[in-house]
Amino acid sequence: MEQLSLIGPAPSAARTLVDDASGRIVYQPELVPAPECAAWFAALRDGIEWQHERRPMYDRMVDVPRLTAGFDCTGPLPPAIAAAKQLVEARMGLRFNSVGLNFYRDGNDSVAMHNDRTAELLPRSPVALLSLGETRVMRIQSKARPRRAIKLALEAGSLLLMAGAAQEHWEHGIPKAREPVGARISLAFRQRPRANETV
Ligand SMILES: O=C(O)CCC(=O)C(=O)O
């Protein structure tokens, strides 16, 4: 199923960050042209019913420091998500059945270091993160010590692909920004296991 080559011309060369037994992590800048990035960002920012989740941490409930939303791709999708999914799938030669959205309103919003829960993914299936809006820095680090660490600026229109065993061996997160920064939206495309369905 996994096929990482781009279909059609890519405006900028992909950068392979990791490609070994621990997984494959590839950064593709400029996957989406700037006009689509701007249109999809505005449509999602203004048109999605964003959730402000609260989660237990130790003995109290805390705000999740970003807004979130999620869609099962077997049902109808907002047009901007359907268009983004179509472009990502065509470019990457992959299919996805789920998309999770994160809205980082400013530099105070973040996501802690984590890996995607492998029980909620098809075994060793790829996860593709599409970035819209302002650039934010992602930290990627190996679980094994001594840690290998990568700092990556996720630019608008870029796609970060984490494939193979990457979720087993690597963590990723977006720390709060030190400098003022505007809003960013990410779309995380995934292949979720479902009864009687292949993607
Ligand atoms: O916003 C991003 O690019 C990262 C999102 C993420 O790590 C997640 O949804 O699990």
Tell me: cis bond preceding 56? Omega within 30 of 0 counts. Answer: no
pTM above 0.85, yes or no: yes
Kindly give the interhelix angle for 34-47 and 79-92, rounded to the nearest 10 degrees: 140
| C-alpha torsion sign, points 107, 108, 114, 115 | negative
Return the CATH class of domain 15-190: mainly beta
Q: How many residues would you count in the chain? A: 199
pLDDT per residue as tens digits for the range 127-171: 999 999 999 999 999 999 999 999 999 999 999 999 999 999 999
The residue to mutate among 113, 114, 129, having the most atoms of ligand 1 within 8 angstroms of its beta carbon, is: 129
Mutate to test the pocket of ligand 1, among 103, 139, 172, 176 (most ligand atoms within 8 A of CB): 172
**For 43-99, what is each residue's pLDDT tens digit?**
999 999 999 999 999 999 999 999 999 999 999 999 999 999 999 999 999 999 999
